[in-house]
Structures are given as C-alpha cells and as structure tokens.
Amino acid sequence: KLENLLRQAGLLKGESLYDVENVAIVHHINNALKAHKLFARDKDYIVRNDEIVIIDEFTGRMMPGRRYSEGQHQALEAKEKVTIQPENQTLASITFQNYFRMYSKLGGMTGTASTEAEEFGNIYGLEVVEVPTNLPIQRLDEDDEVYRTAEEKYKAIIEEIKASREKGQPVLVGTTSIEKSELLAELLKKSGFKDFQVLNARYHEQEAYIVSQAGVPGAVTIATNMAGRGTDIQLGGNVDMRLERELAEMEPGPERDAKREAIVAEVRQLKEKALAAGGLYVLATERHESRRIDNQLRGRSGRQGDPGRSKFFLSLQDDLMRIFGSERMDSMLQKLGLKEGEAIVHPWINKALERAQKKVEARNFDIRKNLLKYDDVLNDQRKVIFEQRIELMDGDNLSEIVGDMRQEVVENLVRLHIPENAYAEQWDVAGLKQGVLDQLNLDLPIEAWAAEEGIDEKDILERLKAAADEAARDRAERFGPEIMAYVERSVLLQTLDHLWREHIVNLDHLRSVIGFRGYAQRDPLQEYKAEAFELFQALLANLRQTVTAQLMRVELVRQAADAPVPAPPAMEGHHIDGTTGEDDFGEGNGFAATAVEPEDRDPNDPATWGRVARNEPCPCGSGKKYKHCHGAFEQV
C-alpha cells in the first residue's frame, strides 16, 4: 500500500521501495514513522511560535535552539504542520564525558549522586562521598501505592490532595510529562479545585514565583520533573520574593517599612501553620526510569530538618510498570481479589520497583559507556585537528607548512602516475600533466621531459618541485608578505574547518551502520577504529590537495584608483575564501581569483585587467613588463 501511494505521488523509482535509488525515501519514511509513533507532543516536544521546541526528559524544561539531526526535526515539523527549517550542520562535536576530561581537576556536588556512584568511578575516576545532613531528616517516605489502572490512580491522588488541603498541608504533585500534568490539572478542575498552580515547560516564565509559593499552607502545585530547578521550596512561602513583588511600586518611607514588617510576620505565621500540618507533601504520580530523578523530587520535602512526607502513586499502566510485565501482575492481582479502587501497598513492591529501575539504569549506563568508546576514537582525532588549528591561528609564518603541503602533493602526483622503477614508456604522462594542471595550476612540458634520454622519476619530481616553488615565490612577491600571510592563514583555516565538518558527518554515518559487522563475527568497535583512521588519513590528504590547489590559483584584483584597497582585516571568527574572495558573511576583502581575456582589458581601467603575469607586457600599453610598471605598486 505504501509503495502504491509513493508511486502515485511520483516519488518511487524502480520496482521496489528498497531499491538503491530509493535509499533517501526509506530514510524519510523511517523519520516520519518515528515522528508519529515514538515522539509525543507535550512530552518530547511542544509547538511554540511556529517551531518545534524539544523538552528535556529529565528536567521538563524547553531547550530552545536544540534540534534533532538527520531529518528527524524536519519530520516533526511536517507532522505538526509548522514551517520546515533547514537541517543544521554540525561544526564540532564532543561528548560531555570527553569535555569534562579536558579539565585537569574534576569535582561536583549534588544531593543525588549516590545512585550513580559506579558511573562516576568508571568514567571519571571520581569517588562519591556522602556528606551527613546538617540536621536530621524528619521526612516520612511512605511505601508506594499501586493501582490496577491509571483512572483508579488519579482518583486516589485527587482524594489525597483534598485531604491534605483540608488540613492546610502544602502539596507538590510530581508528573513525568506536560501531557500528564495538564491531564491532572483538568481532573482537579472537574473535582472543584480552582486555586492550584501548574509548573511545566509551557509556563516556565512564571517558574520562580510558582515555586516560591509552593510551601504556602494549602497550596497545590503540579510540577513536571523538579530535577535541575535549583529552587528551594520554603514553608510559608519565599519572603524575599514576596517583598520584591509587593513592594516594587511603593516609595521608601514609613508606609513601605510597615508593609514590609507585615509581610515578614505573615510569612512567619504561614510557616508555623505549614509545619503544624506536617510540612510539604510530595505526591508523585509515576516512577521515573532513574532513581536519581525520583530522589530529587522527594528531596524537595523535609529540607533543613523540617517535617515532610512523600509517596508515589502508581498504576500497572505506567510506562515503567509496563516494561517489566505489568500484565502478568494484573492477572495475579485479580486472582487475589483486588477490587476496583483498592491499592496494593507493601515494602516488597518498593524493592521490586527499585530493582526494575536499577536494570534500566544499568542498561542506560552500558549504552553511554559503549558510546564513549566510539567517541574516544573521534576524540583522538579531534585533539590532532584542534592542535593543528591552534598552530595555524597563532603561527607567525605559515609558508613553511604550506610549502611542506605543496611538496607532498607533488610527491603524490608523481607516485600516482609514475610507478617505481618503471620505464618511461610505462609512465602516465597525460595523467601527470593533467594532475599538475588541476592541483598546481601549472602547464608544464612534461611530454618533452619524458622524452629526454636517461630521465627518471626523480628528475621529474625535482623539476615539478622546483616549478611549483618558483610559482609560489612569484605569487608571494606580488602579494607582499602581509597579504600572503593573511591569504595562507585564511585558506588553511577555512579548508580545515570545512573538511572537519564533513569528517564528523562521515563518522556519524559510519557509526550508524558499523554494528552490522557483528553479524560477520567482527568486532564493530575494532572495525570502526580501522575505518575511522582511514577516513582521517583521507581528510589530511584532502587538506593538502585543497589548500595547495587554492593557493596556487588565488590572485589579487586591483581596484579602481578612486577606491583604495583596504588593509587585510584583523583575524576574527570568519575566514576568507581564497577562491571567491568572500568571507563567511559573503563580503569581498579586496582580492579574489579571476581570469580575464586580454581583449576584455581596458588600458585605462586597471580594475578590468584581472590576473597579469609579472613578465607579461603591462596592459596599460607602456611597453614595459608588468612587474616594472603597474605591477610594481601591487606590493604597496
């Protein structure tokens, strides 16, 4: 059916969807399927201002500017019928692990590191030390309540919220997605609740104030993943935020001071009332895959010795429960006579859930550890490239580096077209001549050289090197040392950056398919290392060829007499293109490569002359050689 639809739309080529010509179509179909079946709106992303904005699954916050790669973001944009933006190109990439390893000293502090102690030890070599609390923890962590269906669970949650509000206890309700936080908010409205707050990625602008008032007696706050909020929920409310909000428009004076004292006294009374009601009640609607996220939610209550309470309300339809065989447990509970609306509560359930979370955490850790092994390969190459780049940025004289590249290009050309110890009749003279023209921009009498008696490949190599060096010296003399140094640096940096971007994409593609080598009883990691090394060698060879070809072609164009040639601009974050004369912003910088026919030159307008060889007659008609006439001023 799909093939028929594609064929009718004129998108399918050949007999089958899986023919080689349809590789791109298959990729788009996979992205479309993932967009519709794996990515959920208001959970994985939201639609905002005609854009798809990704939501961090751990913090519930929006990540503006972040985009999925390889067409996945465009598939989501098509799904939601918003403007489809072009694909981003990766300029540079590094994993968090390798980024942190660049520091000579590493350390950190968090309240939930103990569950990840193994990963800190294996990846960073860091030991996790638990620091005793300032005051004894008085929070009561109750056993989980497990219901058969999500509907029963939400009914129990609403009843629990009602009971807590009646006694004046502030409640923080934790959900795992925007969708579920808004579902719960709707259920609360239907139950007669009016005064409650919702904190998720939709309302992140009001986040600070919503959290500041979550400790007020009787307050109900629904939050999506409290991880990374960095906000302390103070019982009675945040006095500083109330003062800032309510005194902002009042003039200094006795009235303002009295208002300040009244607010401080009111917050103090509200805190006493919240403490008497049992402190903050953290009510979680679902277990997260990571125990750390659950602990961060729990840890919002019972801070600094305050009383508090936490409980998880679960159902067999929750994501984590479904992963670990909730259907089998459901049939068992029915046989045991569990009625609708009843919950099963037992420490064994908590331990079973914790074991399930540990399995998921272990699997995720293995994935990260495996990815790190692959990134270590790229990391070694990254170090080489960026050391080279720093050398190019800071080096005073790059002519030696450029000269070495030029020599290697010449040697490769000779090696490619003249086999070692071969007779002259076996040489690929035509191929060598074309290669020299393409890469060195030199038209040399190579056929005549090859016809000479007793000549060998070493003679050809020396003549080519000498000719290339002479052409480079001639160009450097005409440009002058300052401009030549600027051109060399610009071409080197721009070419290196461009090839490195391509290399990252190539390694991403290699990484995505290398796993299939396992079917051939080969170690995918070792195969990846070998092929990544070959790709890196190709990058370096391509760098030498491209830089040499561009520098052997670049020429200065003299501007009109009334338009002074600008001085070479200071090196910043943009690079000039040695071929087009444009920088990253598309503006010329006073010189560019160009070729102009003699009949198109106006003797009175040097701007129309284009490239003129130093020993050619000057186009102005003086009869002098160009280097002794107008060409003498080019170095100024």
**Per-residue model confidence as pLDDT tens digits over 247-296:** 888 888 888 889 989 999 999 999 999 999 999 999 999 988 888 888 88
Please list, residue by residue across 225-254, b when 16 or more beta carbons sit within 10 angstroms of its beta carbon and e when fewer do. Answer: bbbebebebbbbbbbeebeeeeeeeeeeee
**Are 28 and 68 spatial neighbours (Cβ–Cβ below 8 Å)?**
no
Beta strands 280-284 and 171-175: pairing type? parallel
Considering 22-36, 194-208, 606-620, the range whose residues carry the highest mean pLDDT is 22-36
Q: In angstroms, rounded to a whole number, what is the distance separating the alpha carbons of residues 335 and 427?
A: 87
pLDDT at 579 over 50: no
Q: CA-CA distances (angstroms) from residue 479 to 291, 559, 574? A: 65, 14, 21
pLDDT at 587 over 50: no
Tell me which of 471 and 620 has the higher pLDDT: 471
**Per-residue model confidence as pLDDT tens digits over 534-563:** 999 999 999 999 999 999 888 776 555 455
Domains contained in the chain, CATH given: 2-79 (3.90.1440.10), 138-345 (3.40.50.300)
Of the pLDDT bands very low, low, confident and very high (cuts 50, 70, 90), residue 11 is confident
Read off φ and ψ for residue 431, nearest 5 degrees: -65, -40
The pLDDT, as a whole number, for residue 571 is: 36
Name the residue among 154, 145, 148, 152 with its Cα closest to residue 173. Answer: 154
pLDDT at 576 over 80: no
Of the pLDDT bands very low, low, confident and very high (cuts 50, 70, 90), residue 633 is very low
Rounded to the nearest integer, the mean pLDDT of the chain is: 82
pLDDT at 601 over 80: no
Tell me which of 416 and 212 has the higher pLDDT: 416
The pLDDT, as a whole number, for residue 70 is: 80
The pLDDT, as a whole number, for residue 421 is: 74
The pLDDT, as a whole number, for residue 32 is: 92
Tell me which of 494 and 600 has the higher pLDDT: 494
Of the pLDDT bands very low, low, confident and very high (cuts 50, 70, 90), residue 87 is confident
* Residues 6 or more apart in contact with residue 313 via CB below 8 angstroms: 144, 145, 147, 153, 156, 157, 160, 283, 284, 285
Q: In angstroms, rounded to a whole number, what is the distance separating the alpha carbons of residues 589 and 183?
A: 59
Of the pLDDT bands very low, low, confident and very high (cuts 50, 70, 90), residue 635 is very low
**Are 551 and 491 spatial neighbours (Cβ–Cβ below 8 Å)?**
yes
pLDDT at 228 over 50: no
The pLDDT, as a whole number, for residue 615 is: 57
**Per-residue model confidence as pLDDT tens digits over 448-496:** 888 777 788 888 889 899 999 999 888 888 888 888 888 899 999 999 9
Q: In angstroms, rounded to a whole number, what is the distance separating the alpha carbons of residues 222 and 174?
A: 6
Tell me which of 635 and 254 has the higher pLDDT: 254
Considering 408-412, 456-460, 596-600, the range whose residues carry the highest mean pLDDT is 408-412
The pLDDT, as a whole number, for residue 592 is: 36
Half-sphere exposure of 237 (CA within 13 A, CB side): 24
Tell me which of 244 and 262 has the higher pLDDT: 262
pLDDT at 124 over 60: yes
Half-sphere exposure of 145 (CA within 13 A, CB side): 20
Of the pLDDT bands very low, low, confident and very high (cuts 50, 70, 90), residue 105 is very high
The pLDDT, as a whole number, for residue 307 is: 93
The tokens describing 67, both together, are 């985009």
What does the angle CA 373 – CA 376 – CA 382 come to, to the nearest 5 degrees? 160
Q: What percent of the chain has pLDDT over 70?
A: 84
Least confident of 549-558, 590-599, 622-631: 590-599
Read off φ and ψ for residue 613, nearest 5 degrees: -65, 150
pLDDT at 226 over 70: no
Q: In angstroms, rounded to a whole number, what is the distance separating the alpha carbons of residues 550 and 498?
A: 14
The pLDDT, as a whole number, for residue 204 is: 62
pLDDT at 594 over 50: no
Tell me which of 165 and 597 has the higher pLDDT: 165
Of the pLDDT bands very low, low, confident and very high (cuts 50, 70, 90), residue 597 is low
The pLDDT, as a whole number, for residue 4 is: 81
The pLDDT, as a whole number, for residue 613 is: 62
pLDDT at 10 over 90: no
Length of the chain counted residue by residue: 636
Of the pLDDT bands very low, low, confident and very high (cuts 50, 70, 90), residue 349 is confident
pLDDT at 298 over 80: yes
**Per-residue model confidence as pLDDT tens digits over 156-177:** 999 999 999 999 999 999 888 8
**Per-residue model confidence as pLDDT tens digits over 486-542:** 889 999 999 999 999 899 888 888 888 888 888 889 999 999 999 999 999 999 999
- Sign, CA torsion 301/305/307/311: positive
**Per-residue model confidence as pLDDT tens digits over 424-443:** 777 888 888 888 888 888 88
**Per-residue model confidence as pLDDT tens digits over 385-396:** 999 999 888 887
Q: Which amino acid is at 54?
A: I
The pLDDT, as a whole number, for residue 589 is: 36
Q: Which amino acid is at 356?
A: A
| Interval 128-142 mean pLDDT | 91
pTM: 0.63
The pLDDT, as a whole number, for residue 127 is: 93
Read off φ and ψ for residue 310, nearest 5 degrees: -145, 145
**Per-residue model confidence as pLDDT tens digits over 200-223:** 666 666 777 778 788 999 999 998
The pLDDT, as a whole number, for residue 170 is: 94
Q: Dmax over Cα atoms in the chain, in whole Å?
A: 111
